Amino acid sequence: MAHLDPPAKATTLAPPMTWRTRLSIFAAGYLTDATRRADGTINRRLLAYLDPGVPPSAAPRNGVASRDVLIDPALPLRARLFHPAPASTTPLPVVVFFHGGGFAYLSASSPAYDAACRRIARHCAAAVLSVDYRRAPEHRFPAAYDDAFAALRFLDDPKKLPTAPPLDVSRCFLAGDSAGANIAHHVARRYALSASSFATVRVRGLVAIQPFFGGEERTPAELRLDGAPIVSVARCDWMWRAFLPPGADRTHEAAHAASPAAMAGIDSPAFPPAVVVVGGYDPLQDWQRRYCELLRSKGKEVQLLEYPDAIHAFYVFPEFAESKDLMLRIKDFIAGTK
């Protein structure tokens, strides 16, 4: 009689979570899948209906006030400025934040990111400038990077710098999640290559929450966790095609952190210490760990925060215990970085 091997144990694609959280995650996936057109464009009208932005609030919400500021009227490029309320008389450190969404989705006014930036501002006693960069596929590489870097230049211009609350731009931190963390990395590189041209802005740290990097190969985590919440191989491939220049593959500097162009500036002393966040249920985790190793190989100070039970974008769901823990870790990083 032939020997029958026991069936392979199925890979668990997500940690235990409530039905409410599952429904929220399903809605996030539906938002991206339902608005993609066959011709590679996005139905922005439907997306605006599914992801209605929330207005800024001069009246504090959860202890944080916000207002929108105009960075570049020619584009126009805007950002949302969050700060603890009542406004501090002591200058606040500034977190320049870039939202996720695969370079193509969501905005600074999306409910999830408005709430996330409020939590960062409240926990860290910092101002948060959330940049509403241009999105793909209408605006491909390098538009998002150009907009993000323009926000840093905006903070360096005393004529444009908001006066209330007072901001300590000598203590700037770059932060983002997923595609936003990718943007934060490339802005840190650009800053490092041109730090001497900034009069007052000093970038003191980089917070890369589950950064969106990739390559042509399929990593073990991508294969093992394909179908996990939020991120799938098919969605990621579509987002890279939407963002990268026509004809480019995922060895391009925007996607592949180890490409020579993507490493330019990392060797500079002005490239800041980094915190890199990795989740155990994130299909992108192998790329994120490689990014950590890359920075360390260049002599950079890197703190790796691993959350074994975290899905991609876990921190925008405050019901996860890991979300609160990450806020406290970011607070410690900002407070401890001079």
For residue 102, pLDDT beyond 90: yes
Q: N- to C-terminal Cα distance for the chain? A: 71
Rounded CA Rg of the chain: 20
| Distance of alpha carbon 177 from alpha carbon 242, whole angstroms | 18
Adjacent-strand bridge partners of 82: 66, 128
Average pLDDT over residues 6-23: 76
For residue 5, pLDDT beyond 80: no
Average pLDDT, the chain: 94
Q: How many CB atoms lie within 10 A of CB 53?
A: 16
pLDDT band at 3 (very low <50, low <70, confident <90, very high): very low
pLDDT value at position 65?
97
Buried b (16+ CB within 10 A) or exposed e, 178-200: bbbbbbbbbbbbbbbbebeebee
Active-site hit among 51, 286, 312, 323: 312
pLDDT value at position 11?
67
Active-site hit among 177, 282, 286, 323: 282
15-19, 65-69, 96-100, 114-118: the lowest-pLDDT one = 15-19
Phi/psi-derived region of residue 245, left when phi > 0, alpha when psi is between -120 and 50, beta in every other case: beta
- Is residue 156 part of the annotated active site? The answer reads no
For residue 28, pLDDT beyond 80: yes
Residue-wise pLDDT tens digits, 129-161: 999 999 999 999 999 999 999 999 999 998 888
Average pLDDT over residues 245-259: 97
pTM of the shown model? 0.95
Active-site hit among 178, 185, 186, 286: 178
- Is residue 178 part of the annotated active site? The answer reads yes
Average pLDDT over residues 155-181: 93
Task: Identify which has the larger pLDDT, 307 or 86.
Answer: 307
Determine what percent of the chain is predicted with pLDDT higher than 90: 91
- Is residue 186 part of the annotated active site? The answer reads no
Residue-wise pLDDT tens digits, 189-242: 999 999 999 999 999 999 999 999 999 999 999 999 999 999 999 999 999 999
